[in-house]
Structure 1
Amino acid sequence: MVDRTEFVDACHVAFRLAGRPEMAEAWDTESACNGMTVGGLTHHLVSQIRHVARFLGEPPTTDDPIPLLAHYERAEWVTADADDEANTSIRDGGNEAAAAGRDAVLAEVAPLLDQLPDVLRTPRDPDTIFIPWQGWALTTDDFLITRAMELMVHSDDLAASVGLPTPEFPGSIAADVIGLLGGVAVRRHGQAAVIRGLSRPQRAPVSISAF
């Protein structure tokens, strides 16, 4: 089960990074994600907080949730090329939203951080969330892991974009994300490749990247 207190802490870690002055200074320059500005990437990062607050504030769905790894088998962006619409729509949407400016992007999300503890404590029965842009449901815990992965991966992208160190995230959240990425990597490369990549560099494949 996801530690919800640490999940809120992870949201604060990402939000503090987004609020660093280096982001404002580099707002319109290209980020470490090709085709996405620092502003667009910042918007995409903090949008994960908005998604959680929004979806947990809605009634649970009665649709049967799919397994967490099945989510990444079905999602188009996982296997799409960088220039496919599944990925360019994310980049373009972030860049367009960033045109409002750094202060506006952060101001939209800041109040939601205060709401998250209560939203995450509110019982849900069934404990499920429907993801409208995908068309399927996940358990609340699995949905939170998907958002935690976005927070951690894109915080690394954003920090690299402006030459800052990648922030440290709460231990249980990092463990959840590493478990997710490991599971996706095994499905993509096979058990042996992932085990070698993590333990036997002399026999490791060139990449065991999950995405």
Structure 2
Amino acid sequence: MSPVTSPDTPPVVQRPVRAAYLDAAEQAARLLVHPPVAESWDDMSVLAGMTVGALAGHLARSVLQVEWFLDGADGADRADGTEVRPTSAVTYYARIVDAPDPGSALNRGVRARSEESAEAGPAAVADRTAETLGRLRTRLPREPADRRVAILHRPGEEMLLDEYLRTRCVELAVHTDDLALSVGTGTRAPDAAAGVAVDLLVAAALERHGAHAVLRALTRRERDDVGALRVL
């Protein structure tokens, strides 16, 4: 027998990227309560210029930010009535060209926001992440397939929710690994999220450099003059 639902209750949407994101967020939340994270909070992480606390705060933001974006405006039209074309996850990363430079404006901003998040302390960061994840587990499956979110740090841009979650799979997979290495644990993001991350980053490399450069990077590294696979 099918469960009885209210006519006002949105249907549950089973989408692989949403499941992959939630599982990766759960793994990140478990890592944030791992005692060595709190014990090493003020120590330097494996990322230059970032403490373990700042890195943990940055990892937490890939959970917190999804809720912030969902709570923001959901519109596909500008004030003048013209349609906003959503940015793809591939383009979102393909145009980030200054990520490898620690002194870039991008990285300075990331460090500042991460340090701000870390100021709350390890317990508060972990608790807030877990509480937000609990709400997202209920909320995300009920968001419609065409749900858009405004990209708050890129005014005027929007993404389809599932495209945005692909970018969060990248962030969760990469920074779970960073934080785990920083505190000496073998924690990794689930394979599904790591697979989403790899697919997206290779696609971004293709958009940025073209197929021949990526082919060389994959098969003839001695001919890889542009570092084609280095997206972030």
- Under TM normalisation by the shorter chain, which class is it? 0.7 to 0.9
Would you say the 8 A contact 2:94–2:205 is kept in 1?
A: no
Distance of aligned partners of 1:15 and 1:64 in 2 relative to their CA distance in 1, 3 Å threshold: same
**2:98 alignment partner in structure 1:** 79
Q: Distance in 2 between matches of 1:74 and 1:97?
A: 26
Paired position in structure 2 for 1:64: 85
What is the CA-CA distance between 1:152 and the residue it aligns to?
Answer: 0.5
Asked whether 1:101 is paired with 2:121, we answer yes
Moved more, 40-49 or 200-209: 200-209
Note closer, same or farther for the CA distance 1:149–1:174 as it changes in structure 2 (3 Å cut): same
Q: Who wins on radius of gyration, i.e. which is larger?
A: 2
Residue 26 of structure 2: aligned partner: 12
Displacement after TM superposition at 1:203 (Å): 5.5
Take 1:69 and 1:5, find their aligned partners in 2: how far apart are those partners?
20
Instruction: Give TM-score scaled by structure 2 length.
Output: 0.79
Query: Hey, what's the Cα distance between the residues in 1 that align with 2:94 and 2:224?
Result: 24
Q: Quick check: 1:134 aligned with 2:154? A: yes
User: Which shows bigger deviation, 138-147 or 176-185?
Assistant: 176-185
Name the amino acid aligned to 1:137: E
Matches within 5 A, 1:141-180: 141-171=162-192, 173-180=193-200
Q: 1:113 aligns with which of 133, 155, 159?
A: 133
Greater share of residues in helix: 1
1:33 aligns with 2:54: no
Separation of aligned partners in 2, 1:168 and 1:130 = 26
State the percentage of identical aligned residues: 35
Q: Alignment partner of 2:164: what SS?
A: helix
User: Of residues 37, 56, 62 in structure 2, which corresponds to 1:23?
Assistant: 37
Unpaired segments ≥5 residues, structure 2 = 1-14, 77-83
In the TM superposition, what whole-angstrom CA distance separates every residue of 1:6-64 from its partner, at most 9, and x where no partner exists? 32111101111122111111110111111111000001101110111222244522133
Q: C-alpha distance in 1, partners of 2:226/2:152?
A: 36
- 1:92 Cα deviation (Å)? 2.1
2 CA distance for matches of 1:184 and 1:144?
15
Give me the whole-angstrom Cα distance separating, in 2, the residues matched to 1:97 and 1:157.
17
* Conservation of the 8 A alpha-carbon contact between 1:2 and 1:145: no
Q: CA offset at residue 209 of structure 1?
A: 1.3
Provide, for residues 65-106 of structure 1, a one-character-per-residue CA deviation record: whole Å limited to 9, x for no partner: 12222222445xx42532122211211221233122100111
Q: CA–CA distance in 1 between the matches of 2:177 and 2:168?
A: 14
Q: CA RMSD in A?
A: 2.3
Cα distance in 2, alignment partners of residues 168 and 109 from structure 1 = 16
2:64 aligned residue: 50
Moved more, 30-39 or 63-72: 63-72
| Residue 205 of structure 1: how far off its partner (Å) | 5.7
In structure 1, give the amino acid aligned to 2:25: C
TM-score normalised by L of structure 1: 0.87
Stretches of structure 1 that go unaligned for 5 or more consecutive residues are: none
Deviations 1:103-135 (A, max 9, x none): 011122211111112211223474211111112
